[in-house]
Amino acid sequence: MQQSKYMKWFAVAATFGMLLILIGGALVTKTDSGMGCGRHWPGCNGSLIPTEITREVLIEFSHRAITGSVSFLILILSVWSWRKLGHVREVKLLAFLAMFFLVAQAFIGAAQVMWGQGDFILALHFGISLLSFAAVLLLTLIVFEVDKKFDADQVHILPKLKWHTIGVTLYSYIVVYTGALVRHTNSSLICPDWPLCNNKTIALPSNFYEWVQMGHRAAAGLIFIWILYIAIHTIKYYKNQRVLYWGWIIALLIVSLQVIAGMSVVLSRLNIYLALSHSLLIALLFGLLCYMILLVSRSNQNYPNA
């Protein structure tokens, strides 16, 4: 049965709202606006609504307001999908995860404001928001019945592609974490060149910050090679399964743009628009990889002995 257009629009709004939360969080970090409201939460500088507006206050308070508003959207979508689409195997779990991780990232953000957190803990903030975004995105795809349009409910994935899909998705989370660690340790410009830290000298990183930056670059390079291999494999062996064929081609396109964006961020000396596009691309890539995991689950259900 086709879902109502209202539910579809609501799902799109929730997905777009989660993207705003992700981009807003990245903007807070990249502009050093995390303490724009001081050590006050949920209020701002001692009042519920800030009375003195600076750039930092505007960015931080707007991020909080968007997070609060989108939280209600996701709560409604979770309950709505649970009641209307609860018969679909993945819906109840996705609805729970969407809310759970959204609340978790909100608490981490609040804890940072009120008590402060270490860089390694703060780096989890973006990753946890990303998990909530992925759950909301998958719910939206189910609401739009993408599986039926692309015959994804009949997908047949062989063991080799299954393990590569699971592996690269888990690994992508490591790439996300290392990228967040670059931002939170202020290591973004410790290496002024690309692809090496200093193109005039071939040498190992000489300090912690260079290790963080170059570690992230190495991790990003590996995921590009890995997805390139999976895409070639899929093009060769899965031409008759459109959702896999085009899914991995799109994943390769996104990860290629991600590499270019990462390079451009360094060479432009942290251009804010390039930096935010970098965050957006990794969100889209992770969401797509999570959908591929869902397809692996569908294949296991349809072909348990494959």
CA-wise closest residue to 135 among 84, 98, 107, 110: 98
Distance between CA atoms of residues 306 and 155, nearest Å: 12
Active site residue 90: no
Residue type, 259: V
Distance between CA atoms of residues 40 and 45, nearest Å: 6
Q: Which residues contact 210 (CB under 8 A, 6 or more apart)?
A: 187, 190, 191, 197
CA-wise closest residue to 129 among 300, 279, 298: 279
How many residues would you count in the chain? 306
Distance between CA atoms of residues 228 and 145, nearest Å: 28
- Backbone CA torsion sign across 87, 89, 91, 93: positive
Distance between CA atoms of residues 99 and 92, nearest Å: 11
Residue type, 293: I
With both helix axes pointing from N to C terminus, report the angle between 242-267 and 272-302 in degrees, rounded to the nearest 10: 160
CA-wise closest residue to 262 among 199, 176, 184: 176
40: left (phi over 0), alpha (psi -120 to 50) or beta: beta
Helices then strands, counting H and E runs in the chain, come out as 9, 0
278 is in an annotated binding site: yes
Gap between the terminal Cα atoms of the chain = 30
Q: Are 145 and 91 in contact (CB under 8 A)?
A: no
216 is in an annotated binding site: yes
Question: Active-site residue among 52, 56, 60, 210?
Answer: 60
- Would you name the residues annotated as active-site residues? 60
Bind-site residues for heme: 216, 278
